[in-house]
Structure 1
Amino acid sequence: MIDRQPTLEGARLLLRPLRPDDWDALYAVASDPLIWEVHPAHDRWQEPVFRAYFDDAIAQGGALAVIDKSSGAMIGSSRFQNYDPDDGGSVEIGWTFLARSHWGGTYNAEMKRLMLAHALASVERVVFRVGETNWRSRGAMEKIGGRLTDRVDITQLPAGPARHVIYEIDRTNFASGPLASD
């Protein structure tokens, strides 16, 4: 069984369970339209759309607030979702976004390393659903050692169906991959 709402700490980041009182700080980050421009839910910067996303994160559990330790500021969020205990176990890491001020450096890699190390102590495999045309996230997945599978998931969004490709990282790949020594 995996703890889907741990507190995880790295050199630059603190990840802790997302709380209802995090709304203002997280929406301040998420209200930037450029964060969502290549995401399948490209309208998530709008308050009613993000409110539904935030409320779902709280209701589902598994959501984490991402805090920059140097400033104490909330800079994004991620989730552990869809835990499956069968066949060695798997969990999905997703619904991740970071403030643009924290793009292109080591923040995403540190966040994913912390989350992967936590998850892979309890499950054999972590899966990631990425919008098929979200090249920014697909590139980030490749940087952290995600292996593209042949599986596709179609999610119905208000704007219509969105195709997602599936990446995986298992214990073996993680132990020998780019995040192992990060």
Structure 2
Amino acid sequence: MSPPELDRQPLLEGERYLLRPLTADDWSALYAVASDPAVWEQHPMTDRWRADVFRAFFEDALAKGGALAIIDKRDGAIIGSSRFQALKSAEDDEEEQSSVEIGWTFLSPRYWGKGANREVKRLMVGHALQSVERVDFRVGEANWRSRIALEKIGAQQTRRTELSKHQGKRVLHLVYAITREDFTNGPLSQGLE
């Protein structure tokens, strides 16, 4: 029996956070988080705090599907967003594993270092690995905050890199991955029943 098809816009609930599909009505609340330049200071697109730049990011998220709003269950506030993208079947992938990319994640700085990213990633990775064999993460080479966060949740840097361009400059992205085995034996499995 093959695994179920990945639902890229699930409702996922953890102890402190709820993830639900992003909607057009979330613009104001999400931009209130994204408008802080500190959120993007290590990201390759450091200007994403600007309304026009974030509007393009937001509209792309809605158009492609897979985008989730991250909600603090204590007060119902949107504190950030993440996405499931680049879903590949084993036939599509040169490594012959089905995979999905989790990325475009950002959180309000007041949630940094307090376990929010860990819980969000545990929910998303656990959900994805019910349907795919591997979860990939693409992160800008100079984005140390995200790279360290990925390593803390057990993601392993692969040998794959990707180049893109932003504002005429080449941007190197490193690819990290978590497989089903990594998840089962890694730090994200702690606290699972």
Residue 120 (structure 1) aligns with: 129
C-alpha separation in 1, matches of 2:188 and 2:60: 30
Residue 80 (structure 2) aligns with: 76
Counterparts in 2 of 1:99-118, with a 5 A limit? 99-118=108-127
Give the C-alpha shift of residue 85 in structure 1: 1.0
Counterparts in 2 of 1:23-42, with a 5 A limit? 23-42=27-46
Choose which of 149, 170, 177 in structure 1 pairs with 2:158: 149
Larger radius of gyration: 2
3-state SS, counterpart of residue 179 of structure 1: helix
CA deviations over 1:128-148 (Å, ceiling 9, x no partner): 001001000000000000000
Choose which of 62, 74, 92 in structure 1 pairs with 2:66: 62
Mind listing any 5+ residue stretches in structure 1 that lack a counterpart? none
Q: Which amino acid aligns with 2:53?
A: V
Paired residues, what number? 182
Residue 19 (structure 1) aligns with: 23
The share of aligned pairs that are identical, in percent, is: 59
3-state SS, counterpart of residue 168 of structure 1: strand
TM-score scaled by length of structure 2: 0.93
3-state SS, counterpart of residue 56 of structure 1: helix
C-alpha separation in 2, matches of 1:130 and 1:75: 20
3-state SS, counterpart of residue 190 of structure 2: coil
Q: Which amino acid aligns with 1:67?
A: I
Q: Identify the range of structure 1 (64-73 vs 84-93) with the bigger mean alpha-carbon deviation.
A: 84-93
Q: Which runs of 4+ in 1 moved over 6 A?
A: none
TM-score scaled by length of structure 1: 0.98
CA deviations over 1:92-134 (Å, ceiling 9, x no partner): 0000000001000110000000000000000000000010010
C-alpha separation in 1, matches of 2:22 and 2:123: 16
